[in-house]
Structure 1
Amino acid sequence: MQPSSAQYFETEDKLVISIDIGNAASSVTLAHLTWGSDPLSSAPTAKPCIRTVLTYPHCSPHLGASTSARVPSLIAFDRDDKPQAFGAECLTEDVQNLVRKGEWLLVQGWKEQMRPIDATSSSSSRPRESSKKKLLTKLHRSTVWPDTSSSKSGHSLHPTSTNLSSRTLGTVSSYSTSSDALLDARSEIAPAPSHPTSPRRVVGLDGGTGALGDFTMGPTLRKKRKEAAVASSPNEEHSERYPGPRLRTVYAEFLRYLVAAARAWYAELVPQGEATFVRLWSTSIFVLAIPSDWSPAETDLLRQAVEDAKLLPVEYKVGRLFFVKEPIAIVHLAKRFISDTSWCREGNSFALVDAASAGTTVLGYHIAATSPRLKVRAYDTARLAVGAENVVEAFRRLLETRLARTKFKSSSVASHLVREFRDKVLPVFSGKIGVDFRLRIHGKDDGTKEWEKLERAIDSGCRVRDGIMTLSTADVEDCFRGVVDAIIVRLSSILSRGEVQHVLLVGGFGDSFYLARRIKHAFAKEQVSLLRPEVPTPAAISEGAMRLYLAETLVPRRARHALGVETAVDWSTAWRPGMENRQVLSGSGGTRLIRGKFTPIVHEGDEFRVDRTWSRPFNLKYRFSAGEPVFEAALYIRDSDRVPVPDGEDWLRDENDSLNPAFQHAGTVSADLSLPVASLPVFEADNPEKAWVQLDVQLLVYVGEASLEACAVWRDRVRFESALSSASAN
C-alpha cells in the first residue's frame, strides 16, 4: 500500500487526464483529486479516484475486467485532410467502402513514424553471435532473425528539433516536479537533438502520412497494393501529389477525439461527471506517455499537437502538461497490480519486456529506492523491431505458399484469413501440441456464386475442406518462433548482466501465452520468475503514467498557518512592561490571569492525514448557579506571512483588546454540556449557590471531508456540536 503522504489535501479540486496513444490502440485514464482523496491507496475504503475509460464510440460495451479498455488508433481523413471517422468506427463497413473507393484515407500506425532515425539500441543491445547460437542450441530451436536495429526508415517521417528541453522545473504549488521521470513541457533550454537534422530530413519534416494507410501490412502485400493502385489510377500525377495529413494534424485530431470520448464516458459513469469535467477543464493537467527513445524533437511535435487540439491555452503555465516514458509508467503500474512484491525491493534488479504490435522493448532496471517513492535506474535497453505484426507477416507468407496453386487464390481470401488469424489464433496460441486451428476462408454470406464456391472448397494440398483451412500447432509455431527467439536471446544478455531474478511481461503481445511459456521455459534453470500485472495490460501505460505522475507530484500537505485558541496566562510570569492596559482576570484560587494569548493547536508545518487529530484540554469548574452549561471556544488562524510575529510575542489581542492583524477568526465551536453535567458527581450539593461539577472537555481538530473541522468531546469522546469555517484549511 502506498504511504499516507499520497493523500490530496488541496482546497481546489484537480482533474488529471493521462493519455497513451499506441501504434495499434490507445487508452485514457482520468483522476479527479478532491480533498482527502488517496488516489494511490489500495485500501477498499479509499475513495475511487483513478478511472480508465472502458468504452468508446462504436466499441463493444465493457463486459468485465478482462475487456480491453482501448480504442483502435485509426482516423479516416477525406481528401481535404478533414477527419471523418475515429477509432472503431473506421472498421465499420461504410467507412471501409469509402476507403476502398479512395474517397477517404485510413491513417494508422503513425506512432511508429515518430521513431527517431538513429534510435538504435545501446552498444550492448545486439547480442553477440556466439551467445545467440549458444542459447538457441540450448533451446533446440531454429531461428529466423528479423532486423532488430531500428524501425524501417522508408516509412518514417520525423520532426526537427525545436526549443524544448527535457529538463524538469521546480515546485509548483504543493506539487513536486523535480523527478527525472516527469518531463514538463514548459521548459526553456533545449538540449542538442540526439539525431541529425539533415537537409533531406528537414524536407520530409511532418510532410504527410499518405503511406500510413498501409503501414501495418507486410511488405509483399503493401507492394502489390501500390502496384495495383498505380495501374488503376487514371490520374497518376494527382495520386502522387496527395501526401495525406501531417503527423502533427493526425496527433491533434486524435487527441481531441480521445478527450471528447473520455468526457462522454465520465459524464455517463460518474454522478455529476459532466459538471465536474466542465468545472475543472480550465485547470486540468495532461500526462502523455511517450516511447523511451523519443528525443526532444518528437516530444515537441506532440506538444504542438496538444496546442493545436486546443486542450491547453496558448500561454499555459508550468505544471499543466507532462511527458512520461512508457517503460517507467509500466513499472509503476506493476508495483500496484503485481501481488508478488519480492521483485520490487531496494537493491534488486529486474527486466521489463514490453511486447507490442510493431516492436518490443527490453530493458534492465536496478531499483535505487522504494521509499518514499519508487526510483529505478536503467542499466541496459534494447529496441527490437519484432512484435505481433511480425507474427502476422509470417502467417501471410505461409498463406502465399499454401494458396499459390489453389483455385481460390485471391487477395480477399488472404485478407479474411489474416483477420481470422488475428482474432482466433494470435491471442490464444500457447504451443500446446495436438491443438489444431480452423479458419474460414470466406466472409459472411453475400448470396453470390463465389461465396457458394468457397463454402464448398476442398484442397488437401493446403489443408482446406468445406471452406475451412486447418492449421496445426507446428504451422502456427513457425509463425511465432522467429519473433519469440529474438526476444529471448536479447533478454538473456540483460538477465546475465544484472543478476536478474524477475521479468515483467507487458504490452499487447505480452498477453501471448506462447511468449510467456517460452520465456518461462528458457530461464527455468536460472529460477527466473515471470510476472504480469493483474489488470488488463492494454491500458497499462495510461494508468501507469497516471500513477507515476501522482506518486511524483503528490507531497505531504502541511499546515500553512497555525490554528489555535485564545488563552489566559499567569500574570506573575507573563507580565512585561507595556501590559498595564491589558485586562487582568481572577482565576480559581485567586490566581491573576491575563487574557489574549494565542495558543496553537495545529502548528504551522504539521502534516495533514486522515487519521491524525489535534486536541487542546479544557478543565472547567461549572457552577449550577451560572446558568445553562454551554462550552464555547473561538478558533483563530495565525498568518505570519501577512504580519511577521516575533518569537514569544504570540498575543492574539493588543493592549486595547483589539485583534492583531496577523490573526483572523476561523470559527467558533460550541457545545451544550447538559448531558455530561447530568452524569457527573456534584460537589457541595447541599448548597445550591455553590454546587458545582468538574468538566474535562477536549477541543478536537481533525481532517474533515472538505477542510479541517473541530468539535468538543469529553472523556467518552462523545461529540456534541462543531462549527468551523473552511478557511482553516488554507
Structure 2
Amino acid sequence: MAYRGDKVYTGDEKIVIGFDIGTTMSAASYSHLSKGAYPVVEMFPTLALYDGSRCVACGEEALNYDSADDHEQMAKWFKLHMHPASLKDWTVNIPPLPNGISIQRVYQDIMDYMLKNTQSHFEKKVVNGASIWRRNRNSMTFIFAIPNAWGHSQQQTLRQAAIDAGLFPSSKADSLVRFVTEGEASVHFVSVYGSMRHWLSVGSTFGVVDAGGSTTDSTLYTCTQVSLGIVLKEASMSECVQAAGVNVDDVLGQVLQARLANSRFGDKDNIKAMVEEFEKKTKRLFNGNTNKNVIKFGGSRDTDRNLGILKGQISLSKEEVLATFKPVSENIVNSIRRLISSKRPQYLLLVGGFGESPYLRSELSRIFGSQGIEVITVEQPTKKAAAEGAVVWYLRNMVKTRIARETYGTDVNCIYNQLRHNERSDQVYTAPDGLTRISGVFDPWVEKGTPVEDGFTYTVGYLTTWPKEAHSKPSLGVKEVQVYKWEADTIPLWVLQKNRSLMPGFHYICTVQADLSHLVPHGLAVEKGPKGKYWKLDYQIAVTLPIGGAQLQARLQWYEKGILKQGPATTILEFN
C-alpha cells in the first residue's frame, strides 16, 4: 500500500527522495510530484566494502561480495561513528572504519549507491520513468531522516557527502536538501498507515517511539487541530538513546564469547555467523517466554554437547537471550519515562525495525499499560518508516511547534553590571559610546525546553562603534559570530574563560560570517560620546537554529530609511 495525498498537487513537477541511512539497513523513498504519484520504498543493507581507498561494493552487493582478498575491509555499523558524545551512553563494540576511509567518504559511497538503485527502481516502475528522471534530475529534493539527537555537525557531514556523491551541486544545497528527525518522520508515517484518525482529537497527547538499529527516538505530541488537516506540537523535549537492535546483537556477541572461550567455536568467524543468524531469526521471534532458542551456524560435524552445540546449532536458554534484551529494553523504558514525566499520553505508537520485536512490544505494553497508556503498533511493516515518513513530511508537514533539546547562543560584549560581573572586573573596558562593557558573556538565543515555532528565526541585534579619528568612513570587513550550545539545564553566565577559551560544558557549533562592507554607504552614523565623536553601525544577523532537524542558516539584516534589507551570510563548520 502506498501513500495517497489528500490534496491535489498544484506545484511544478519534481521528484522528492527520502533517504534513511540506518545502522544495519537503509531505505529510499520517492515521490514524483505530479497528478497521481505515490511514495515507493526500497531497502538496502548499510554496508560498504573497500579495497584500499576504492569502494568495490555497497549494500546488497557488499553483503554477497565473494572475494578472498584479505586487504578488503567492510564499513559496518558506521552510523555509530556519527553519534554525538551526548548520545554515546552505551559501551558498544563499534567496528572501526576501513583504514584511510573517513566517515564522510563512507556516506558518500552509500548515497551514490542508493541514488543509482533508486533511479533504477523509478525507471522500471514509473511510466516513462527514464525521461521523467532526466527531466527532473537537476531539481530533485533530498530529505534525510536523522536521529533526534543529531545536530548541525552531523547535518554538515551528510550535506557534504551528498555533494561529493553528486546528489546536488554545492550551489544548490540550501534549496535541495532537507533534514527531518526520525521521530518526526515516523509520526508522519503513522498518520498515513496507523489508526490515528480514529482516536485523534484536539487536545489529545500521544508518543511516537521509533526503535531502530542504533537509536530509539521518542517524541511526545499534542494535537491542536484536526478539522482542516492535522496539526501537532511537541509536548516535551524529544528523547534519543543509543539503545536498539545492534545493542542486542552486541551483547549476544559478548555472551557467546564468554561461553565459547577456549573452544574451537569461539573464533571471530563463528561468533559472527551466530550473531548474524540470531539477528535474522531468533531475535525477531523472541517474546521472553521461549525456553529453548536455537541458532544455526555450522554443519552436521559441529557438535559439542558440553557447550550446547549439536550438528551446527547452538542452544540458548531463555535467561541467556533475556540477558541480551533486558539492558536495551530498560534503557528504552527509562527514556520513555523521561519523555512523559511532565505530561502523560493516552497512546504510545511503536515503530521501527526493533519496534517489531515481540519482546519489546510486550515489555512496553506491560509497563505502560499498567499506567493506562495503550501501546499501538502499525500493521504496515515499519522497519523503514522514516524513509517514507520523510517524504510524507515534505508533502504535508503536520508539526508546527518543537521543543529545543539544548540551549543555543553566542558570546557578547555586554554592559558591565558590578553585581553580576564583579569576578572579571579587571577585564572591563570603555567603548567609544562611553558605556562600560565586558566580554565573554553568554547570550542565550533559545533556551532548552523552549517551544519553537516552525520556521522560527532568532534575530541578533549588533551595535558596533569606532572612534572617529579621521573624516573618512571606516572600512568594514567580515563580522564573525560563533554559535555555541549548552546541554545542561542551568545556563551559566560566561561562555568564554578569561583567556578566551571555551568554558567546560559548552560545545562549538559553527561560525556565521557576514560581510558588512556594503553597509558603508547607508549603515554608518556619527554619534557624539563622552570622549568625542564616534562611528556607530546598527545591524542584525538572523539565524535559523538546528531544532527538530532544521538546517542552521543565517542572513544579514539592516534598515535603510526604515525599510528592512537583507543580505547573505555563511556558516563555517570546523571539525575537531
TM-score of the pair, normalised by structure 2: 0.63
Q: What does residue 28 of structure 2 align with?
A: 28
Q: In the alignment, which of 65, 83, 87 is matched to residue 59 of structure 2?
A: 87
Q: Distance in 1 between matches of 2:282 and 2:316?
A: 10
* Matching residue's letter, 2:388: E
2:423 equivalent to 1:484: no
Contact 1:373–1:552, Cα closer than 8 Å, also in 2: no
* CA 378–22 in structure 1, closer or farther in 2 if over 3 Å, else same: farther
Cα drift, residue 4 of structure 1: 8.2
**What do residues 182-215 of structure 1 show as CA deviations (whole Å, max 9, x unaligned)?**
xxxxxxxxxxxxxxxxxxxxxxxxxxxx9235xx
- SS state of the match for residue 504, structure 1? strand
Q: What does residue 114 of structure 1 align with?
A: 82
**What do residues 586-622 of structure 1 show as CA deviations (whole Å, max 9, x unaligned)?**
xxxxxxxxxxxxxxxxxxxxxxxxxxxxxxxxxxxxx
* Matching residue's letter, 1:83: C
Cα drift, residue 261 of structure 1: 0.5
Contact 1:373–1:551, Cα closer than 8 Å, also in 2: no
Q: What does residue 218 of structure 2 align with?
A: 362
Cα drift, residue 510 of structure 1: 0.8
Q: Distance in 1 between matches of 2:362 and 2:245?
A: 16
* CA 405–14 in structure 1, closer or farther in 2 if over 3 Å, else same: closer
Q: What does residue 398 of structure 1 align with?
A: 255
- SS state of the match for residue 415, structure 1? helix
Q: In the alignment, which of 18, 29, 44 is matched to residue 71 of structure 1?
A: 44
Q: Distance in 1 between matches of 2:140 and 2:337?
A: 43
Matches within 5 A, 1:291-330: 291-316=147-172, 319-330=175-186
Contact 1:288–1:322, Cα closer than 8 Å, also in 2: yes
* CA 3–398 in structure 1, closer or farther in 2 if over 3 Å, else same: closer
Cα drift, residue 527 of structure 1: 2.5
Q: What does residue 668 of structure 1 align with?
A: none
Contact 1:6–1:551, Cα closer than 8 Å, also in 2: no
Q: Distance in 2 between matches of 1:524 and 1:298?
A: 36
Q: In the alignment, which of 487, 508, 521 is matched to residue 353 of structure 2?
A: 508
2:276 equivalent to 1:426: no
Matches within 5 A, 1:342-357: 342=198, 344-357=200-213
* CA 342–116 in structure 1, closer or farther in 2 if over 3 Å, else same: same
What is the identity percentage for the equivalent residue pairs of Structure 1 and Structure 2?
Answer: 26
Contact 1:343–1:502, Cα closer than 8 Å, also in 2: no
Q: Distance in 1 between matches of 2:272 and 2:5?
A: 54
2:458 equivalent to 1:458: no
Cα drift, residue 390 of structure 1: 2.0
Contact 1:391–1:483, Cα closer than 8 Å, also in 2: yes
Q: In the alignment, which of 29, 41, 45 is matched to residue 52 of structure 1?
A: 41
Q: Distance in 1 between matches of 2:320 and 2:4?
A: 51
* Matching residue's letter, 2:161: A
Q: Distance in 2 between matches of 1:522 and 1:463?
A: 33
Q: What does residue 19 of structure 2 align with?
A: 19
Q: Distance in 2 between matches of 1:390 and 1:105?
A: 22
* CA 116–408 in structure 1, closer or farther in 2 if over 3 Å, else same: closer
Cα drift, residue 30 of structure 1: 1.0
* Matching residue's letter, 1:32: H
**What do residues 266-320 of structure 1 show as CA deviations (whole Å, max 9, x unaligned)?**
1112221112111211222222222222222221222122221222234227532
Q: Distance in 2 between matches of 1:152 and 1:476?
A: 19
Q: Distance in 1 between matches of 2:312 and 2:66?
A: 27
Q: What does residue 131 of structure 2 align with?
A: 275
Cα drift, residue 72 of structure 1: 0.9
* Matching residue's letter, 2:96: A
Return 5+ residue gaps in structure 1 as ranges.
38-46, 54-69, 121-148, 156-209, 214-242, 444-451, 554-730
* CA 412–110 in structure 1, closer or farther in 2 if over 3 Å, else same: closer
Q: Distance in 2 between matches of 1:516 and 1:4?
A: 30
Cα drift, residue 488 of structure 1: 1.9
Cα drift, residue 408 of structure 1: 4.2
* CA 430–109 in structure 1, closer or farther in 2 if over 3 Å, else same: same
Q: What does residue 459 of structure 2 align with?
A: none
* Matching residue's letter, 2:272: S
Contact 1:19–1:289, Cα closer than 8 Å, also in 2: yes
* CA 250–420 in structure 1, closer or farther in 2 if over 3 Å, else same: closer
Return 5+ residue gaps in structure 2 as ranges.
399-576
* CA 401–150 in structure 1, closer or farther in 2 if over 3 Å, else same: closer
Q: Distance in 2 between matches of 1:33 and 1:266?
A: 13
Q: What does residue 6 of structure 1 align with?
A: 7
Contact 1:333–1:533, Cα closer than 8 Å, also in 2: no
- SS state of the match for residue 293, structure 1? coil
2:534 equivalent to 1:534: no
Q: What does residue 256 of structure 1 align with?
A: 112
* Aligned-CA RMSD value: 2.8
2:73 equivalent to 1:105: yes
Q: In the alignment, which of 93, 97, 102 is matched to residue 246 of structure 1?
A: 102
- SS state of the match for residue 430, structure 1? coil
Contact 1:18–1:288, Cα closer than 8 Å, also in 2: yes
Q: What does residue 173 of structure 1 align with?
A: none
Q: What does residue 287 of structure 1 align with?
A: 143
Q: Distance in 2 between matches of 1:401 and 1:394?
A: 11
Cα drift, residue 509 of structure 1: 0.9
* Matching residue's letter, 2:369: A
Q: In the alignment, which of 390, 408, 421 is matched to residue 545 of structure 1?
A: 390
- SS state of the match for residue 389, structure 1? helix
Q: What does residue 316 of structure 2 align with?
A: 471
In terms of fraction of residues, the more strand-rich structure is 2
Q: Distance in 1 between matches of 2:157 and 2:290?
A: 48
**What do residues 106-144 of structure 1 show as CA deviations (whole Å, max 9, x unaligned)?**
112222222223x35xxxxxxxxxxxxxxxxxxxxxxxx
- SS state of the match for residue 523, structure 1? helix
2:243 equivalent to 1:386: yes
Q: What does residue 211 of structure 1 align with?
A: 96
* Matching residue's letter, 1:465: L
* CA 2–83 in structure 1, closer or farther in 2 if over 3 Å, else same: closer
* CA 437–76 in structure 1, closer or farther in 2 if over 3 Å, else same: same
Cα drift, residue 6 of structure 1: 2.6
Structure of larger gyration radius: 1
* Matching residue's letter, 2:156: D
